Structure 1
């Protein structure tokens, strides 16, 4: 594409304003004969994108009061008041636009509240970070909690889910010691689902009771890492993660780069992932059949080989731990063959 075509592509969605540059009327005189000149055409010169800075407007709501003169003469006055839209947050200066902007800046653009505080100050509004935090909490409780509850209801209708948890530090949390650990859990639909739903659930515990309570009677396929806490999910079909298995053998190679057994194990994993990437664009049914045809032989060859070589490896070594990790999860590592929409790894949750 030419430079102009690229430029047109970049600005095609921006509102356009035409600026016509003129000569002052008293100077529209022909330099040769002194006659009055007229516009005979125009020439394109350049274009630029202008930023119109945000501005704040205070909106004061008044409600008209309507009275019935006829009833008033009878000493039976009747009054009606103009309809006033409900506030986003009662007894607050927050509007939909200001609350939305604070939330957007914090969670999409990663602008912390103390920096937003300065931006509002430059616009002439002394909006404290405490007030903004309260806005976010109130919006979460009053509006978003209902939305998330509906998302959860829809998510639990799916047959494939991914789950993961990670440590997160919350500063100055009430009734929680600074030494304790808290966790952010994530639940999401499968990669091939038509509805990509991702829900985060903060909890002070890493117990398996957390996902058990959250998922309730869910009985579909759940992809997780090897954490034993997920075993409390007794109604689901567990699918463990081959990416974690591969990582264990890769760590063994880092410890001993000459270890041919670790390299062979990792090569088996890489082969499974390579085939899987080729099947990614197939339909659910096609993927199910091709996995059994192409991947299942590699899967079975790995376990057949592992059963022979694992007893020769010292159990306390990095490689021994890798084999132990794999064998403990052998049953769950093969469950992704049961449904074409299942995944070979839990990377979807890990990435989320």
Structure 2
């Protein structure tokens, strides 16, 4: 009898332990999902800057002491404030050309015709706009014949940007900038041109753009090679809507790679390049950066992981990961929005102090080793 009771108790104890483990696992899963929902709600409806009230965090949790500057450090000069009052009128740019219109006053009243002397003047500047206009450039090549030797001479034909296309490089550049920088569709540009009596179909513009892309492809490859020569580059991707041929639309991605270390003292010219893909996967940055050796500063997208370590052996590769403190801060702000965590609050405060120190000193270098020392890590 006692043996049966012991077996029953042991079985109930095992069931209770299993139930407690299940409850714990479900609780962790619920908390994880709540964090995801809070993050998605903040992305959709929250503030884009993700600024936190640092003073409030200091009052809620233990005061975080900022690192004391060394004795030999020179305090940063105060940031000069703009002389213009908030909401005041912005002065007109000085490099704009000026056209002066002289307004003479009417003659004196009462029939006085005496001499006048200017004592002062009032100047009112008004910003004007001269609409863009088209023009036709006529390349005239006279054919000449010599009376003595009877040779016929003529200048060679003008080299056009696109063969057999009667468009100058300025017009083609205008179309491309409007389409891919100002995001003006071909149809909208065609409508704008028709208002001034010029008819260029959008299909024609699209064909010109494809020809220009083929001609400029070597320049783009050389630009990307210049970017990959840098010791550190920035990488990111942005989604774009990709229209299909009768099967709806889907999401494509532009992969952006930037070289710009002027804030670190490197005065090499900055450069940026875009690569397009119909999907988002780690195979695309792996292809783009196959021959790159250096530091890559990017977000926490899992597709970049194969660039840093071998997926099978986990051995480090020639590309070193450089994280972003803005993305790291989001994890702590997600925690703070759900529950008051002293550790998360301290992390947000220290990251804010780090950003403030960089703004005061004008230092924007990605010196992650020094940053990690602030947090006590190696």
Partners of 1:210 and 1:157 lie apart in 2 by: 19
Which string of whole-angstrom CA distances, capped at 9 and with x for unpartnered residues, describes residues 306-331 of structure 1? xxxxxxxxxxxxxxxxxxxxxxxxxx
Q: Which has the higher helix share?
A: 1
Partners of 1:162 and 1:98 lie apart in 2 by: 33
Tell me if 1:230 matches 2:304.
yes
Q: How does 1:84-233 map to 2 (within 5 A)?
A: 84-143=157-216, 145-172=217-244, 178=248, 181-191=251-261, 192=263, 193-194=266-267, 195-233=269-307
TM-score norm. by structure 1 comes to 0.65
Which string of whole-angstrom CA distances, capped at 9 and with x for unpartnered residues, describes residues 232-265 of structure 1? 22321122334333323323443x3xx233x522
Shift of 1:274: 2.1
Tell me if 1:267 matches 2:346.
yes
Tell me if 1:53 matches 2:131.
yes
Say if 1:272 and 1:298, in contact at 8 Å, map to a contact too: no
Shift of 1:218: 1.3
- What RMSD, in angstroms, separates the aligned Cα atoms of the two structures? 3.8
Give the 3 Å change call, closer, same or farther, for CA 154–270 of structure 1 in structure 2: farther
Which string of whole-angstrom CA distances, capped at 9 and with x for unpartnered residues, describes residues 10-31 of structure 1? 15322223334569xxx99997
Alignment: residue pair count? 279
Structure with the bigger RCO (C-alpha within 8 Å, sep 6+) is 2
Shift of 1:197: 1.9
Shift of 1:271: 0.7
Which string of whole-angstrom CA distances, capped at 9 and with x for unpartnered residues, describes residues 131-175 of structure 1? 2233333323223x333222212211111112122332211269x
Give the 3 Å change call, closer, same or farther, for CA 39–269 of structure 1 in structure 2: closer
Partners of 1:62 and 1:122 lie apart in 2 by: 29
Give the 3 Å change call, closer, same or farther, for CA 2–217 of structure 1 in structure 2: closer
Unaligned runs of 5+ in 2: 1-82, 308-316
Secondary structure of 1:170's match? strand
Say if 1:94 and 1:135, in contact at 8 Å, map to a contact too: no
Say if 1:218 and 1:236, in contact at 8 Å, map to a contact too: yes
Partners of 1:235 and 1:202 lie apart in 2 by: 24
Unaligned runs of 5+ in 1: 73-77, 301-333, 335-352
